[in-house]
Structure 1
Amino acid sequence: MQAALSDRLVGIISPRAMRRRMAARAGAELVDMSLKAARPSGGRRRYEAGRHNRLTRDWHPGSGSADATITQDLGVMRNRSRDLARNNPYVAALVRQLVANLVGDGIEARAAHPDPAIQKLAQEIWLKFARSKVDGRHDFYGLQKLAVRTMVEGGDVLNVWTAKDGVPDARCRLVEGDQLETPSGLWGLLNTNGPLIRDGVEFDGAGDRAAYHLLRDHPGDMLRGLLRKYDRVDAQHVDHMFEPTRPGQTRGVPWLAPSMMVVRMLQDLDVAIATKKRMQACIGIIRTMSRDEDEEEVDVGTETEAGEDEGSGSPALERMVPGMVVEGLPGEEYTTITPTADGDSDTFYRQQLRSVAAAIGIPDHLMTGDVGQANYSSLRAATVAFWAVLDDWQWNVIVPFLCDPAFARVMRREALLRREPRLAECTAEWTPPPRQWVDPIKDVAALVMQERAGFINKPEILAQRGKEYRAHFEEKAAVQALGDKLGLVFDTDPRRVNGSGALQPPSGFVLPKDDADSRSVVSFFGRMLDATERGDRAAINQGFVEAATALRDGDPNGQAMAAIIGALTGADEPENRE
């Protein structure tokens, strides 16, 4: 760096000051150069993820709409997803765990209406429908399980409602996404004068779903699938369930889509590792003939069916098996080959399985069954996070697209048949399957504390366990009444026994009204007994006053109270009357 004129003038007086000035100016120039290098071209701030450089040279994502990115590959992804669910043990376990946690033994409905009579009638109607053969084979809870599994594997599922014996919306039929297809291929693009059809879904002028174009038979059927005959089904008769991830999305994608390639790679890796393990069980051998021996003079004999050379006794080395002993010919040399160990393939395999589970949103131990590296805290954290994902799927996908429409259809149908329009006003409060506790003692204690603090109520707690609170309370009251009638006291009855197993003190709001007289006598006896043991004369005198007052007023408990105070004190009158 060349010194400026001012620096040289300063240097005449103080060379040290000149060097400091030059060093400061050089540092300032370096900072300015760094800022210019970091500033984007054109002076605009940009995201690093949007830059084009050598690190992103091969990254060319498409800019298509939600439907454009799905339509062309949906069929291939659907077929591959089902193949993995059929043949890959980890994917099979993943799908089964998802369905079990999302649906379990069924997502149940609790009818809600301001009129208790209508509410009770609606509940009876729904239970009768849900437990019937809604599709000719499954009840509604079995239909939920099959619908959710179809959505997970194929991306979407359609529940088509049809009439039965002249009654509308009386029968369900699940249809796979394979049968939802636009007629004549390019109909949705070329038919500019008609309705807009995307992937088999017809839209009206307002952009709402108007109809679904369904193949009568599955296209994969060996015989009838070749006919490819379509039916236009009005949208009011179809419930289309899938998980939307972008606005304007018409169809859903298989849930395994982000991790299919990883699973496929792991399948190939699994075969390679298994082959290597088999090789490690054998000893590879290379046979070298003697140099001073002419190959033409060696009697090779004839090869038998077992692969052995009869002339030399030497085995066919291409067919090595574990435990084989090789006998060589004179002059032959054998070199063994021992394969190396697997290294860190097990760690890599486990990490990739974790990525597959994370892509779906479930804890990896549910897919692999491996909890060897887990503890209570990690399992608890993973389970709580998984419950949040379950809530999202249940309340934002399954309930609004499958359960709510079914309940509304049944109530509308019965409102017409029974001529009771108030049934159509009923809504449903859905109860997912109960979730098993990680630590029952801690979890129950937490629920009790939340209820005592007023954060939740008993109906909400019972709903989490899959119980309808009205029916539960009625059943509990019936059991307690029968126990009281037979004179039974259970250790789990909080009216009689506290948490430590001791008898509860009598309380007016606990005992029945018919026992009011005996309650007052028992309470008086307890207070007097305690006062006598403590030698509390004031409390004993107060007891005499209460007994005398009861006798004077004609209270039927007066005689008993006087007898109690006399028996405990041995006197008929108080020693000191205040």
Structure 2
Amino acid sequence: MIPVAPSILDRAITALAPGYGVRRYNARIALHAAGQYSGARSTRNALKAWMTRAGSADSDTLGDLETLRSRSRDLLRNNPIATGARATSRSNVVGTGLHVRAQIDRELLGMTEAQAEAWEQKAEKLFHRWAVSKAADITRHQNFYELQALVFSTVFESGDTLVLRRKAKVRAVLALALAIVEADRIVTPVEHLNDPSVRDGVRIDEDGAPVSYFVANDHPGDDVISAISGFKEVPAIGAASGEVMALHVFERVRPGLTRGVPFLAPVIETLKQLDRYSEAELMKAVVSSFFTVFMKTANDDGLASATAPLPGMASNEVTLGSGSVVELGSDESIEVAQSTANTNFDPFFLAVVRQIGVALSIPYELLVMHFTASYSASRAAIEMASQFFKERREWLVNAFCQPVYEWFIVDAVNAGLLTAPGFDDPVRRAAYLGAMWIPPSKLVLDPKKEWEAEKIAVEMGGKTLEQVVTEKTGGDWKKTTEQRGREHSLRVALKLEPETLDPNKAAGGAPEKPEPGGKTEEDQ
């Protein structure tokens, strides 16, 4: 608090009325110390009941994680919007899998261009052979490209996951396997509950860096197992090798945050309330669709008296149904609450879905898979989504894909599959481990316009053909060019196109040349 010296007026008032003077002086001090943000006021009617606490990242998060995970999973099982949000994010971030392109620093390593290209191609082929094999998964259910989608989905759903470096149990290109541990299995054992260095299953050092992870042998929610059979403390860094042994994959949004939060956390309540509202409207529509005739008679001679009740129904039980006929007694009548169509349902539903899309950084059009706006508006939505997906993809690459690639290269060098002189030197090692990851193809609304833009970018020198092929098809530019050359030679031999093609228009009325780096005839 900044001290405020009492003025002459303060001293005079205090001398005449001590109690009032002290209160006046204290009010001046409080006014001087307070900031100027209206959002921090507690005197405003809208903010009086808004009680908050400035806690640390872990104290604000860890106690809620179990509930957040279970509710997030329930929504992803049963809520269409939540399920669609995850599917849209996964297909645009991971797709069928991110593929690696080795990019070593040949100048630093003293290699010629040919030597560097040969080394990169061998590294890529070895890694791809390992990645397509299910031996890459310790459970032998998925290959590495499928594990990328699993890791992304798990983090989306639970907030984080742990990837352990294991030795393959079967013969493979390389004895490297990955074990994906669900977030629930990273828990603090009872004997460490009072240890301040253990935060929800993660032991940290004085700098907040992870030292080890306590992994339960069994899932705490497994109904088949009555109790957890024990824990294993997995080191984050190997004591002897100094190599990373575990990857804790999560999005860290605050300094000091030890565990990740499910992506749906900000919209869990909104999604659930919208789900209930939709169910109520659906039930209302179903009930309104029933057509039931009530017959009122003056005596007991009616249709219903000759009809036996259905099995499981009491004789006096009345049910609505499609085309049902129900008899009423002479002194009975009915009152029906007329159900009218809710014309506000669709606008309200869409307005809430837009808010959910904002929270998840997914444009409304992609979230509901419905494009009704103009081409420009739809294109803008896709471009905005692409930026978000690119950010997520970079995070996944840095947290999971690139570290796994580095594990593979290290093991391949140690196994003699790759020759890397000076690999023990940290600088040269980093030069060998450079790589680029190929994303899935972006959604295209107008392929002709997109390819024309790429052609102009290549002609102006803003892009290379390799970049175009990589971004548009995810293919290999060299292989695509070689295949296009073979196709061209064959078509020339069959006189289907001239030997020399005009870059803008094929001569002699021949079919137009595919755009640079585009699909080959074989692809089509």
Within the alignment, does 1:61 sit opposite 2:60 as a pair? no
Q: Is the 8 A contact 1:282 1:323 kept in 2?
A: yes
Match of 1:67, as an amino acid? D
Distance verdict in 2 for CA 1:343–1:437, change over 3 Å: closer
Q: 1:25 aligns to what?
A: none
Match of 2:433, as an amino acid? C
Runs ≥4 in structure 1, deviation > 6 angstroms?
165-169, 283-290, 300-303
Q: 1:568 aligns to what?
A: none
- Cα deviation per residue 1:501-520 (whole Å; 9 max; x = unaligned)? 3269xxxxxxxxxxxxxxxx
Within the alignment, does 1:148 sit opposite 2:156 as a pair? no
Q: 1:459 aligns to what?
A: 466
Supply the distance in 1 between the matched residues of 2:291 and 2:494 (Cα, whole angstroms).
79
Identical-residue share of aligned pairs (%): 26
- Give how far 1:169 is off: 6.2
- Cα deviation per residue 1:356-392 (whole Å; 9 max; x = unaligned)? 2221111223333333x43322211110000000111
- Cα deviation per residue 1:467-490 (whole Å; 9 max; x = unaligned)? 233333344344445555x35454
Q: Is the 8 A contact 1:156 1:242 kept in 2?
A: yes
Q: Which has the larger radius of gyration?
A: 1
Q: 2:484 aligns to what?
A: 476
Within the alignment, does 1:502 sit opposite 2:507 as a pair? yes
- Give how far 1:145 is off: 1.0
TM-score by length of 2: 0.76
Structure 1: runs of 5+ lacking an equivalent? 1-39, 294-299, 505-578
- Cα deviation per residue 1:523-562 (whole Å; 9 max; x = unaligned)? xxxxxxxxxxxxxxxxxxxxxxxxxxxxxxxxxxxxxxxx
Supply the distance in 2 between the matched residues of 1:54 and 1:288 (Cα, whole angstroms).
58
Within the alignment, does 1:379 sit opposite 2:378 as a pair? yes
Supply the distance in 1 between the matched residues of 2:264 and 2:352 (Cα, whole angstroms).
14
Within the alignment, does 1:431 sit opposite 2:438 as a pair? yes
Q: Is the 8 A contact 2:185 2:219 kept in 1?
A: yes
C-alpha RMSD of the superposition: 3.4
Aligned counterpart in structure 2 of residue 276 of structure 1, from 270, 284, 300: 284
Q: Is the 8 A contact 1:91 1:367 kept in 2?
A: no
Q: 1:244 aligns to what?
A: 252
Supply the distance in 2 between the matched residues of 1:305 and 1:340 (Cα, whole angstroms).
32
Within the alignment, does 1:93 sit opposite 2:117 as a pair? no
Query: Which stretch of the first structure deviates more once superposed, 360-369 or 121-130?
Result: 360-369
- Give how far 1:170 is off: 0.8
- Give how far 1:74 is off: 0.5
Supply the distance in 1 between the matched residues of 2:78 and 2:333 (Cα, whole angstroms).
45
Supply the distance in 2 between the matched residues of 1:334 and 1:82 (Cα, whole angstroms).
44
| Structure 2 counterparts to residues 205-284 of structure 1, below 5 A | 205-224=206-225, 226-235=227-236, 236-282=244-290
The count of residues paired between Structure 1 and Structure 2 equals 443
- Give how far 1:143 is off: 0.8
- Cα deviation per residue 1:106-148 (whole Å; 9 max; x = unaligned)? 1110012222332222122211221122112211101111111
Larger relative helix fraction: 1
Q: 2:201 aligns to what?
A: 200
- Give how far 1:355 is off: 1.7
Q: 1:162 aligns to what?
A: 166
Q: 1:367 aligns to what?
A: 367
Distance verdict in 2 for CA 1:249–1:304, change over 3 Å: same
- Give how far 1:237 is off: 1.3
- Cα deviation per residue 1:192-237 (whole Å; 9 max; x = unaligned)? 6xxx221211223443222111111111112336124111112121
Q: Is the 8 A contact 1:259 1:359 kept in 2?
A: yes
Distance verdict in 2 for CA 1:218–1:457, change over 3 Å: same
TM-score by length of 1: 0.69
Q: Is the 8 A contact 1:157 1:241 kept in 2?
A: yes
Match of 2:504, as an amino acid? G
Supply the distance in 2 between the matched residues of 1:145 and 1:432 (Cα, whole angstroms).
13
Q: 1:118 aligns to what?
A: 119
Distance verdict in 2 for CA 1:324–1:405, change over 3 Å: same
- Cα deviation per residue 1:81-104 (whole Å; 9 max; x = unaligned)? 111111122222221121111111
Supply the distance in 2 between the matched residues of 1:45 and 1:222 (Cα, whole angstroms).
54
- Give how far 1:335 is off: 4.7
Supply the distance in 2 between the matched residues of 1:426 and 1:479 (Cα, whole angstroms).
36
Aligned counterpart in structure 2 of residue 106 of structure 1, from 87, 94, 97: 97
Within the alignment, does 1:350 sit opposite 2:350 as a pair? yes
Distance verdict in 2 for CA 1:303–1:54, change over 3 Å: farther
SS of equivalent residue, structure 1 residue 414: helix
Supply the distance in 1 between the matched residues of 2:38 and 2:390 (Cα, whole angstroms).
35
